[in-house]
A = this chain, B = another copy of it.
Amino acid sequence: MSKFKIAIAGLGRIGKIHLNNLLQIPDITVVAATDPDEDCLSHAKEKGVPFVTHSFQNMLDSTKIDAILICSPTDTHADYVETAAKMGIHLFCEKPLDLSVKRVVEVLEVVKANNVKLMLGFNRRFDKEFRKVKELVKNDAVGQPHLVKITSRDPGAPPIGYIETSGGLFLDMTIHDFDMARFVVDNEITEVYAKGTVLVNPEIGAAGDIDTAVVTMTYTDGSMAVIDNSREAAYGYDQRVEVFGSKGMVQSNNNFHDSHKLYNKTGIHAALPLHFFLERYQEAYKTEIQDFVKALYNGSNMPVNGDDGLKSLKIALAALKSVQEGRPVKIAEIQ
């Protein structure tokens, strides 16, 4: 069997990580890359990517491609996916597919009609900590889940300019937690109550967004999940999950720089959590792409699919509506 030919669209921070991880997987070849930025293309060239171009369409036209990773800005995702799907190319797309439910549904129909595979980039599903929690829940270690608690705090807010176009806290940041709430207990959310506010930086409020939130959610069986978010944790990236059930509880913890404990006159001191997602999820990004490639080779289901993206999007929009209207919102209200 000849090697899978993979292309990559978008060579920003996350695109570069995926490129690097792809290059370490035997049995695939990275055949092409596209990005508007010249330096990014040079980077890909140096890494040995044979064909680079500023144009997505040019890349598709010039090279035989089996699968493509879409790591370009959010507003390109839907179009790129559609275009590539119509050419029979399998897809890995960073979240979200689009901020509009209608558009996402359209795109997923095109994907389905063209019989290509689509994986969404919910990288946390590939983190060993959350995988262990899910595995224990699945193996009945905590019994019937009653409550899922997710803490998700960034070490610092992104630039205001980013916030203005990101779709806001729920669509940009909490969307990972919505996916985690579904993933970790393998259950669907039916209702959301979100309370959000601006406590970190008033400019975030001026930009129409919130920076601190508590989101309570209900699953199909009446069990609950609660997420707490902040755009700025002084001590760094805080990513914890706890699942409480009829037989017990399982918690994952942050990953720390090291395990040292220093005892001195003032107390006992330990290292902080790894700074942010690039550090914390370094291994998860590797596993994510390896699992994408594995699913391509095995013809098996993608570990995260388009429907997962759609469902998290609906929860995020329900949370937004909940904050705006000050009431719990059913997911069924979001169309």
Using CB atoms and an 8 Å cutoff, list the residues of chain A in contact with chain B: 24, 128-129, 132-133, 136, 141-144, 146-147, 149, 153, 193, 195, 197-200, 212, 214, 216, 218, 222-224, 226, 228, 230, 232-235, 238, 244, 246-255, 257-272, 326-328
- Contact (Cβ within 8 A) B271 A260: no
Which residues from B are CB-within-8-Å of A265? 234-235, 247-248
Q: Are B263 and A249 touching (Cβ within 8 A)?
A: yes
Instruction: Evaluate contact between A146 and B199: CB separation under 8 angstroms.
Output: yes
A42 and B238 CA atoms in complex are apart in Å by 45
Q: How far is the CA of A251 from the CA of B193 in the complex (A)?
A: 25
User: Pick the contact of A254 from B144, B259, B328 — CB < 8 Å?
Assistant: B259
If A153-B244, A226-B226, A230-B147 touch, whether A272 touches B261 (CB-CB below 8 Å) is no
Among B200, B249, B252, B255, the residue within 8 A (CB) of A235 is B249
Q: How far is the CB of A3 from chain B (nearest CB, A)?
A: 14
Q: How far is the CA of A200 from the CA of B145 in the complex (A)?
A: 11
Are A235's CB and B264's CB within 8 A?
yes
Q: Looking across the interface, which residue of chain B has its beta carbon closest to that of A24?
A: B24
Q: How far is the CA of A198 from the CA of B269 in the complex (A)?
A: 28
Least CB distance, A279 to chain B, in whole angstroms? 12
- CB A10 to nearest CB in B, in angstroms, measures 23
In contact, A144 and B262 (Cβ under 8 angstroms): no
Q: How far is the CB of A148 from chain B (nearest CB, A)?
A: 10
Tell me whether B272 and A212 are in contact (CB under 8 A).
no
A251 to B270: give the CA distance in the assembly, Å: 10
- Once bound together, how far apart are the Cα atoms of A272 and B253, in whole Å? 15
Chain B residue nearest to A46 in the complex (CB)? B26
Cα distance A217–B277 in the bound complex, in angstroms: 29
Given contacts A146-B212, A226-B226, contact A263 B246 (CB under 8 A): no
Given contacts A153-B244, A193-B216, A195-B224, could you give 8 more A-B pairs where the C-beta distance is less than 8 Å?
A136-B260, A143-B234, A200-B246, A216-B226, A249-B264, A267-B269, A267-B270, A268-B269
B residues near A144, Cβ cutoff 8 Å: 199
Q: Bound complex: CA of A198 vs CA of B246, how far in Å? A: 12
Contact B247 A234 (CB under 8 A): yes
Taking a contact as CB atoms under 8 Å apart, the answer to whether B248 and A264 are in contact is yes
Q: In this complex, what residue of B is CB-closest to A198?
A: B222
Q: Mind listing 14 A-B residue pairs with CB under 8 Å?
A: A142-B262, A142-B264, A144-B199, A146-B230, A193-B193, A199-B246, A214-B216, A216-B216, A230-B244, A234-B249, A235-B248, A235-B263, A249-B264, A326-B327
- Asked if B260 contacts A252 (CB within 8 A), the reply is yes
Measured in the bound complex, the distance between the Cα atoms of B196 and A223 in whole Å is 9
Chain B nearest Cβ from A231, distance in angstroms? 10
Q: Are B214 and A224 in contact (CB under 8 A)?
A: yes
| A261 and B267 within 8 A (CB) | no
B132 touches A271 (CB 8 A): yes
Cα(A225)–Cα(B272), bound, Å: 24
Q: How far is the CB of A212 from chain B (nearest CB, A)?
A: 5
Given contacts A193-B216, A195-B224, contact A272 B262 (CB under 8 A): no
